[in-house]
Amino acid sequence: MVVAYIRPDKNFISTLEQLQHINAYATLHALVIDDEFIDQTSQSKRLNDRLQITSYFQSRQKATLIIYDVWVLTTDMEDLIQMFSCLMKNDFEVHFIKQSVIMSRSSSVMLVMGLMDQLRQTIQSDSKRVIGRPKGSKSNSKFDIYISEIIAYIKDEKSVSEMARLLNVSRSSLKDYIESRELKQVAFGSLLSDRPVDAEAKVIDTIECPN
């Protein structure tokens, strides 16, 4: 089973942007997403208060999990250790899109530590915890609720006019939305490049050691 896990945070990127990257990644790597979990739980909630997602992960063994970045799982270091441990105990294969790496039981300890340290650096850096909508992110649109359908229509090579009729929306507005969100690139995976051969080494190199 391939699961896409999305958890929005006002300090990072939106649900739509995570979904864009996930669809592009899945297309590029020929992965068929069987389930999509959008977790609206606040990032301030600790793992003990997130029973819906912990039960969801516990009920799935040997699944492939696709997420945008480490912070999507949690922004608490203690919870991250527990989540990593349980995901690997249940034989998950976790694909981190931003880092272009895959974490599994067979991963090196240094890769796991590198991912953990990236989160540590992120939550300790004020420059990365901006107030309000992140620079370059897109504002919400009335078409966001149709994102999955639009991507599916594009893959089926339907015209904008056909899509507009099916969704009962304005053709011109839909065309602008598709172009501004680069949904054609998302549909065919061209937003992402192939996984670099040295991706794991790059994650490990980001580990910061105190002087």
Q: Band of the pLDDT at 116, cuts 50, 70, 90?
A: very high
In the DSSP assignment, the letter for residue 97 is T
Average pLDDT, the chain: 86
In the chain, the amino acid numbered 126 is: D
Burial 140-150 (b: 16+ CB within 10 A, else e): eeebbebbeeb
Domain boundaries in the chain? Answer: 2-135+190-205, 144-180
> In which region does residue 125 sit, left (phi positive, over 0), alpha (psi from -120 to 50) or beta (all else)?
beta
Strand, helix or coil for residue 61: coil
Question: What pLDDT is recorded for position 146?
Answer: 85
Task: Express each pLDDT in 151-162 by its tens digit.
Answer: 889 989 999 999
Percentage, residues of the chain above pLDDT 90? 48
Other Cβ atoms less than 10 A from the Cβ of 85: the count is 11
Question: What pLDDT is recorded for position 195?
Answer: 61
| Residue 43: partners with Cβ closer than 8 Å, 6 or more residues away | 7, 9, 71, 74, 75
In the block, residue with structure tokens 């699961």: 3
Question: What pLDDT is recorded for position 185?
Answer: 74
CATH code assigned to 2-135+190-205: 3.40.50.1390
Model confidence at 88: pLDDT above 50: yes
Question: What pLDDT is recorded for position 20?
Answer: 80
Q: Band of the pLDDT at 128, cuts 50, 70, 90?
A: very low
Question: What pLDDT is recorded for position 190?
Answer: 56
8 A C-beta contact, residue 58 and residue 29: no
Cβ-count burial of 181 within 10 angstroms (0-12 exposed, 13-18 middle, 19+ buried)?
buried
Question: What pLDDT is recorded for position 23?
Answer: 83
The whole-number average pLDDT for the span 18-28 is 84
In the chain, the amino acid numbered 60 is: R
8 A C-beta contact, residue 50 and residue 79: no
Percentage, residues of the chain above pLDDT 70? 89
- Nearest CA to 95 out of 203, 175, 3, 12 is that of 3
